[in-house]
Amino acid sequence: MSKVALIVNGKAKISLTVTRETWPLAKPFVIARGSRIETEVVKVTLNQDYFSGSGESVPTARFGEDVATVIAQIQSVATKLADCSEDLDNCRKQLQQWLPAGSARNALDSALWDLNAKIKQISVSEQLNFVEPKNIITVQTISIDSPENMGKAAALLQDFPLLKIKLNQELIIERLNAVHANAPKAKLLIDANESWDIELLEYVDKSVKYLPILLIEQPLKAGEDGILKGRNFSLPIGADESCHTCADIAYLADRYDVINIKLDKTGGLTEGVKLAKLAKAHSLQVMVGCMVGTSLSMAPGLVLATQASYVDLDAPLLIKADRPFGLQINKGNISGLPTELWGHC
């Protein structure tokens, strides 16, 4: 843990606390790139006078991040935070220039939104003119395993309306059949995490029309998805690893149907809101997703989820024990954003 105390004009005092945390998972989480049994997050707390705001991010090796470098990035802007701390809205806007898109900026952006909500006594949703998130339907993720074990996992989730199926290039049809057989009422989303090539995508798209599949997410590697331009598929194709900020939309608009907004990629809710608006202007549907974090990571995304067609904020169910005042998720239904967790006065 590191803590930096800041004094502003002899008046307002802000303290920035940065904490590294490790959260064990309920069971191994397996995707095409590998598996893990725990997740490491970075928690930021900003205190000003009697108010406190928090944010959490999940550094991701796929995007060249690790916990140590993310913490260093956060600490590098401590003095700049002090210089603008009397106007938190302006501070948050300047943060977009101080740090690149990524999990460091996300943690600070989230903490600034939370702190501002408490100081102004106005929820983040109200500040954005969004409705408060209530009864948001999220997918529930099934990790890669044998078809038999994925079927057993699906059987435990048969009352969930949406299941997200992690896949690699092997046993695709067998795994999908096993899941559907054990959860026949559930709609399915496929997430290949960049593990397919165009031939495999075309094969799967033609072969699974009998299944209730809503979306194929990031089938091809980011940077190798130019080949999608001009091709037609029976299923919508979603961009995850290929989509980070508003700067990506022009490229994605004629290759994908859906973008997955994850705040650890956008660098926070501030950019995420802009990205959702721009995507819709380009006739792209919006999905709000997450890395594997606690409910504190999910909270800003849940605010944005009110603007989305698909929601993937099930990570609190993947960890062994969540934070206090965590999201309540019942059969895929997120009841709301607890006022004690984030984003409320």
- For 214-238, how does the pLDDT look when each residue is reduced to its tens digit (9 = 90+)? 999 999 999 999 999 999 999 999 9
Q: Which residue has 């600490």 as its token pair?
A: 75
- Given 262, 265, 274, 280, the catalytic residue: 262
Of 118, 164, 166, 265, which residue is the catalytic one? 166
Residue pair 133/303 in contact by the 8 Å Cβ criterion: yes
pLDDT tens string 140-178: 999 999 999 999 999 999 999 999 999 999 999 999 999
**What pLDDT, on a 0 to 100 scale, did the predictor assign at position 10?**
42
Residue 240 annotated as binding site: yes
In the annotation, is 262 catalytic? yes
How much of the chain, in percent, has pLDDT values that exceed 70? 96
**What residue ranges define each of the domains in the chain, with the CATH number in brackets?**
2-122 (3.30.390.10), 134-336 (3.20.20.120)
**Does the structure show a pLDDT above 70 at 11?**
no
Which pLDDT band, with edges at 50, 70 and 90, does 250 fall under? Answer: very high
Confirm or deny that 83 is annotated as ligand binding: no
Q: Could you report the per-residue pLDDT of 277-300, keeping only the tens digit for each?
A: 999 999 999 999 999 999 999 999
Rounded Cα–Cα distance for residues 212 and 127 (Å): 38
User: Does 191 carry a binding-site annotation?
Assistant: yes
288 CA to centre of own chain? 6
Q: Report the mean per-residue pLDDT for the chain.
A: 94
Flag whether pLDDT at 3 surpasses 50. Answer: no
Q: Is the pLDDT of residue 4 over 60?
A: no
Query: Can you give the pLDDT at residue 13?
Result: 67
Closest by CA to 3, choosing from 12, 16, 13, is 16
What predicted TM-score, i.e. pTM, was given to this entire model?
0.94
Q: Residue 321: is its pLDDT beyond 60?
A: yes
Whose structure tokens read 């989303």? 189
The question of whether 166 is a catalytic residue gets the answer yes
In order, the DSSP letters of 186-222 are: -EEEEE-TT---HHHHHHHHHH-TTS-EEEEE--SPT
